[in-house]
């Protein structure tokens, strides 16, 4: 039977694997990894391979707009006009009475770039508030701030092809074997081909990624920065730093050296809970490397001290000169498929489009001029946790949630429930009726999902992909971009008369002209013809840019990279006699975020079907806990009840909960974020999901 092949990109993690969606004459679809795609070369992980089940299963889909006339009224089906008339009337009234900063949008790293662009234009340009933030704040914002501080801009300098040229990998606070599997397959292949390649893993748990590690530094949670400084000290003492690169292309080395020499290796080893020998061996691997890649993700980012941890890691690339050359560089593994695309178009409360910064008056003027609006407010917008705090304290009256499930994914979930209860007007725009914010919504808007709309995304290596529409959305569901444009018109705003996504993208591309992420040479036609392109792409003659900073010029005021010493330390929630254990949370292999999509796929549910608590044998035995016992995990903010999984793969004193299960799937018994807290990094405003004090007891 003849098939039509639609090109797309996987909608789960930031690896950005290329997918061929094959559709037969009867409309049945099947999924294959795209063998010609430079990222995955035909490979897909279990999540990507099963995407067609998610597209075909419409059982949980929101099909019609729904509205309630009062908080105690039930949701009723309405037409789009009624829904958006109500939304615009309420927004106008709230803004008139309480000012523009009384409304907020909370969006998602799974939104397409065009959707992200439109929601930013709508809020910052026309609603006159910068209160638009994203769940990428929970994911990448510490890495963003560290890149800006060290390299001058939020720019991941590497290309995935550096994996095949590296001979030393330092993987910290990440389990890519489970969470970025196709990147990991490439690293595994590199190790198979070149057994001398060294892999160093830093993690309080023995994860699947440790299976090919040459050394696993099983640190105490929260001590990564001390470890990276100890590695820096060894490299300096061994003479394994690049003095020429440091002298010609960086600032800050003397202060860094003074800082790292203050802590002895003995003290660092004791603080981190690892041996001096292991630190020295890891440092010798780095010192002998011709190509050195550092890879990290949530273990460093989701921390009250996340920016400092990022800085200390990137410093290792800078002092060794391992940046802007083959096989080398700091490589933050993006969690979500389009977290980077969102940042590019200014999808955070503190950013503007094209890597412009909100606090820069010249940047605000450029954006205002481009959008033909009077000005952009200079007042920083509220970040993710601040938006919900604002709803709770009454300063945010209306909140519009797009493509994210905050009652499962935000820290201190009970606080988020209280905030949504208090908000005067809550809009939930989603594909699934499993979004747990729906019971709190005054307006529910059905959105189109992956494959039901067209757009672009950017993956972890700055690679922009075009995603084709290959099927229609069920019921009256509409693409998020269409919903935003209709709302903007109801509000009476000009500048939203786009007839298709190519026009939205063209406007954004024009806006990047002359910036460091210039893609003004790009358009949909070219992108579709080429498949994917790494930015910058200023014109078609120059083509795409594989690796950044090959000329050793950095986008800092003086063109030099900035080796950083840490900023002020933030306090973690200290364990106490009442709550003596440290809880860390994370992903499992076959589930994605809050399971509204992967939870529908039987094959994926078979891997680890139930939530569990990982606990060390000694901590379990002290509490009379046996394998599979039901345990109560309690902390300062709440509790969960689930089965114990006793394992010596976790460090003593630490327990682990997967992040995926929420109330709907487990009756509130397993929602990890009942226990996580309100600590945020002071610079990135990223919440800490990796360090909460808890107690565990037999239930
Ligand atoms: Fe999708 Fe990530 Fe798996 Fe690739 S590695 S198939 S992008 S989930």
List, for residues 554-585, the tens digit of each pLDDT value: 999 999 999 999 766 766 788 999 999 999 99
Q: For ligand 1, atom 4, which residue shows the shortest CA distance? A: 17
Domain with CATH 2.40.40.20 in the chain: 581-682+689-698
- For the segment 72-93, the average pLDDT, to the nearest whole number, is 98
Sorting pLDDT into bands at 50, 70 and 90, what band is 269? very high
Return the CATH number of 66-137+337-449+471-491, one of 3.90.550.10, 3.40.190.10, 3.40.50.740, 3.40.50.1970.
3.40.50.740
List CB contacts of 397: < 8 A, sequence separation 6 or more: 94, 98, 102, 103, 423, 424, 425
Sign of CA dihedral 252, 253, 254, 258: positive
Inter-residue contact 172 to 143 (CB < 8 Å)? no
Which of ligand 1's atoms lies nearest the C-alpha of 46? 3
Residue 70 confidence (pLDDT) above 80: yes
| pLDDT at residue number 391 | 98
State how far the Cα of 614 lies from the Cα of 646, in Å rounded to an integer: 6
Q: Kindly report the three-state secondary structure assignment for every residue of 607-639.
A: CCCCCEEEECHHHHHHCCCCCCCEEEEEECCCE
Determine how β-strand 581-586 pairs with β-strand 455-458: unpaired
How many Cβ atoms are within 10 Å of 552's Cβ, its own excluded?
16
Residue 383 confidence (pLDDT) above 70: yes
467: which strand partners?
Answer: 455
Which of ligand 1's atoms lies nearest the C-alpha of 181? 5
List CB contacts of 70: < 8 A, sequence separation 6 or more: none
| pLDDT at residue number 568 | 62
State how far the Cα of 343 lies from the Cα of 331, in Å rounded to an integer: 16
User: What percent of the chain lies above the pLDDT cut of 70?
Assistant: 99
| pLDDT at residue number 668 | 66
| pLDDT at residue number 1 | 62
State how far the Cα of 448 lies from the Cα of 237, in Å rounded to an integer: 57
| pLDDT at residue number 663 | 81
Report the separation in Å between the CA atom of 178 and the middle of ligand 1, taken as the mean of its atom positions: 10
| pLDDT at residue number 291 | 98
Query: Nearest-5° angle of CA 285, CA 288, CA 289?
Result: 85
Determine how β-strand 443-446 pairs with β-strand 425-430: parallel
Inter-residue contact 562 to 568 (CB < 8 Å)? no
Residue 541 confidence (pLDDT) above 90: no
Domain topology for 581-682+689-698? Barwin-like endoglucanases (2.40.40)
Which of ligand 1's atoms lies nearest the C-alpha of 44? 6
Inter-residue contact 195 to 230 (CB < 8 Å)? no
| pLDDT at residue number 573 | 86
State how far the Cα of 94 lies from the Cα of 30, in Å rounded to an integer: 47
How many Cβ atoms are within 10 Å of 678's Cβ, its own excluded?
15
Domain with CATH 3.40.50.740 in the chain: 66-137+337-449+471-491
Phi/psi of residue 421, nearest 5 degrees: -65, -35
| Residue ranges lining ligand 1, Cβ < 6 Å | 10, 12-13, 15-17, 40, 44-45, 47-48, 180-182
Q: How far from the centroid of its chain's Cα atoms is residue 196's Cα?
A: 32
pLDDT digits (tens, 9 = 90+) for 338-360: 988 899 999 999 999 999 999 99
Inter-residue contact 349 to 360 (CB < 8 Å)? no
Report the separation in Å between the CA atom of 532 and the middle of ligand 1, taken as the mean of its atom positions: 16
Domain topology for 3-56? Phosphorylase Kinase; domain 1 (3.30.200)
User: What percent of the chain lies above the pLDDT cut of 90?
Assistant: 94
List CB contacts of 11: < 8 A, sequence separation 6 or more: 51, 110, 337, 450, 467
pLDDT digits (tens, 9 = 90+) for 614-673: 999 999 999 999 999 999 999 999 999 999 999 999 999 999 999 999 887 767 688 999
Residue 134 confidence (pLDDT) above 70: yes
Phi/psi of residue 634, nearest 5 degrees: -125, 155
Which of ligand 1's atoms lies nearest the C-alpha of 12? 8
Domain topology for 141-332? Dimethylsulfoxide Reductase; domain 2 (3.40.228)
Q: Which residue has the tokens 């292309």?
A: 249
Inter-residue contact 257 to 205 (CB < 8 Å)? no
State how far the Cα of 251 lies from the Cα of 248, in Å rounded to an integer: 9
SS3 537: coil
State how far the Cα of 287 lies from the Cα of 284, in Å rounded to an integer: 5
| pLDDT at residue number 410 | 96
Q: For ligand 1, atom 3, which residue shows the shortest CA distance? A: 45
Residues in the chain: 699
Report the separation in Å between the CA atom of 619 and the middle of ligand 1, taken as the mean of its atom positions: 35
- For the segment 323-342, the average pLDDT, to the nearest whole number, is 94
Report the separation in Å between the CA atom of 49 and the middle of ligand 1, taken as the mean of its atom positions: 8
Higher confidence at residue 474 or residue 669?
A: 474
Inter-residue contact 94 to 83 (CB < 8 Å)? no
Which of ligand 1's atoms lies nearest the C-alpha of 43? 6
User: What ipTM goes with this model?
Assistant: 1.00
State how far the Cα of 143 lies from the Cα of 109, in Å rounded to an integer: 15
Residue 552 confidence (pLDDT) above 90: yes
Radius of gyration (Cα) for the chain, nearest Å? 24
State pTM to two decimals.
0.96
Domain with CATH 3.30.200.210 in the chain: 3-56
**Quick one: which H or E segment has residue 658?**
strand 654-658
State how far the Cα of 206 lies from the Cα of 67, in Å rounded to an integer: 48
Which of ligand 1's atoms lies nearest the C-alpha of 39? 4
State how far the Cα of 42 lies from the Cα of 49, in Å rounded to an integer: 11
Q: Which of 47, 209, 467 to mutate to test the pocket of ligand 1 (most atoms within 8 A of CB)?
A: 47
Report the separation in Å between the CA atom of 460 and the middle of ligand 1, taken as the mean of its atom positions: 12
Q: Which residue has the tokens 């990440």?
A: 174
Q: Which residue has the tokens 């007839």?
A: 499
Q: For ligand 1, atom 2, which residue shows the shortest CA distance? A: 13
- Secondary structure letter of residue 650 according to DSSP: B
How many Cβ atoms are within 10 Å of 206's Cβ, its own excluded?
17
Residue 405 confidence (pLDDT) above 90: yes
Report the separation in Å between the CA atom of 19 and the middle of ligand 1, taken as the mean of its atom positions: 10
**Quick one: which H or E segment has residue 445?**
strand 443-446
């Amino acid at each position: 039977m003849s098939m039509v092949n639609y090109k797309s990109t996987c909608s789960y993690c930031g690896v950005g694997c290329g997918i061929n969606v094959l559709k037969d004459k009867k409309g049945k679809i099947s999924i294959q990894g795209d063998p010609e795609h430079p990222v995955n070369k035909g490979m897909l992980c279990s999540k990507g391979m099963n995407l067609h089940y998610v597209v075909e299963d419409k059982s949980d889909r929101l099909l019609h707009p729904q509205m309630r006339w009062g908080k105690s009224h039930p949701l009723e089906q309405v037409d789009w006009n009624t829904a958006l008339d109500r939304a615009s009337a309420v927004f106008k009234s709230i803004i008139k009475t309480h000012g523009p900063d009384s409304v907020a949008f909370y969006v998602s790293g799974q939104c397409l770039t065009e959707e992200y662009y439109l929601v930013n234009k709508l809020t910052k340009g026309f609603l006159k508030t910068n209160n638009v933030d994203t769940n990428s704040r929970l994911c990448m914002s510490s890495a963003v701030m560290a890149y800006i501080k060290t390299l001058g801009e939020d720019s991941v300098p590497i290309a995935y092809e550096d994996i095949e040229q590296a001979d030393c990998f330092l993987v910290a606070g990440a389990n890519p074997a489970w969470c970025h599997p196709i990147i990991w397959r490439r690293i595994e292949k590199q190790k198979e081909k070149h057994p001398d390649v060294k892999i160093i893993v830093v993690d309080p748990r023995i994860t699947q990624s440790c299976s090919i590690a040459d050394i696993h530094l099983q640190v105490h949670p929260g001590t990564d920065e001390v470890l990276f400084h100890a590695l820096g000290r060894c490299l300096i003492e061994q003479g394994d730093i690049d003095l020429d690169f440091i002298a010609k292309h960086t600032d800050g080395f003397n202060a860094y050296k003074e800082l790292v020499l203050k802590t002895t290796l003995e003290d660092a080893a004791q603080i981190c809970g690892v041996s001096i020998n292991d630190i020295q061996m890891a440092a010798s691997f780095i010192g002998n490397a011709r190509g050195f890649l550092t890879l990290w993700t949530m273990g460093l980012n989701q921390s009250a001290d996340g920016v400092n941890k990022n800085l200390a890691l990137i410093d290792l690339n800078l002092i060794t000169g391992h940046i802007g050359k083959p096989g080398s560089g700091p490589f933050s593994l993006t969690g979500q498929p389009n977290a980077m695309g969102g940042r590019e178009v200014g999808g955070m409360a503190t950013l503007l489009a094209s890597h412009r910064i909100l606090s820069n008056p010249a940047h605000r003027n450029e954006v205002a001029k481009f959008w033909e609006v009077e000005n952009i407010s200079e007042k920083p917008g509220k970040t993710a946790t601040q938006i919900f705090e604002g709803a709770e304290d009454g300063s945010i009256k209306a909140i519009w949630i797009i493509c994210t499930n905050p009652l499962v994914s935000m820290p201190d979930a009970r606080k988020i429930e209280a905030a949504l209860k208090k908000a005067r007007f809550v809009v939930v725009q989603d594909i699934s009726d499993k979004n747990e914010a729906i019971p709190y919504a005054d307006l529910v808007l059905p959105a189109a999902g992956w494959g039901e709309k067209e757009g672009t995304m950017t993956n972890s290596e700055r690679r922009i992909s075009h995603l084709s529409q290959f099927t229609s959305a069920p019921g009256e569901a509409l693409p998020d971009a269409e919903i935003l444009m209709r709302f903007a018109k109801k509000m009476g705003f000009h500048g939203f008369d786009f007839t298709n996504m190519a026009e939205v993208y063209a406007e954004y591309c024009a806006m990047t002209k002359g910036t460091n992420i210039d893609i003004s040479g790009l358009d949909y036609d070219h992108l579709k013809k080429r498949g994917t392109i790494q930015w910058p792409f200023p014109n078609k003659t120059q083509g795409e840019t594989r690796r950044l900073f090959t000329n050793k010029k950095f986008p800092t005021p003086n063109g030099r990279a900035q080796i950083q010493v840490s900023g002020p330390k933030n306090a973690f929630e200290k364990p106490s006699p009442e709550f003596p254990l440290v809880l860390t949370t994370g992903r499992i292999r076959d589930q994605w975020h809050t399971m509204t999509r992967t939870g529908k796929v039987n094959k994926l549910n078979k891997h680890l079907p139930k939530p569990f608590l990982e606990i060390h044998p000694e901590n379990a035995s002290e509490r009379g806990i046996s394998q599979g016992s039901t345990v109560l995990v309690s902390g300062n903010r709440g509790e969960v009840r689930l089965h114990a999984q006793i394992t010596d793969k976790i460090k003593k004193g630490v327990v682990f909960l997967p992040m995926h299960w929420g109330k709907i799937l487990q009756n509130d018994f397993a929602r990890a974020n009942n226990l996580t807290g309100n600590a945020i990094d002071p610079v990135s405003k990223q919440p800490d999901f990796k360090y909460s004090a808890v107690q565990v007891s037999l239930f």
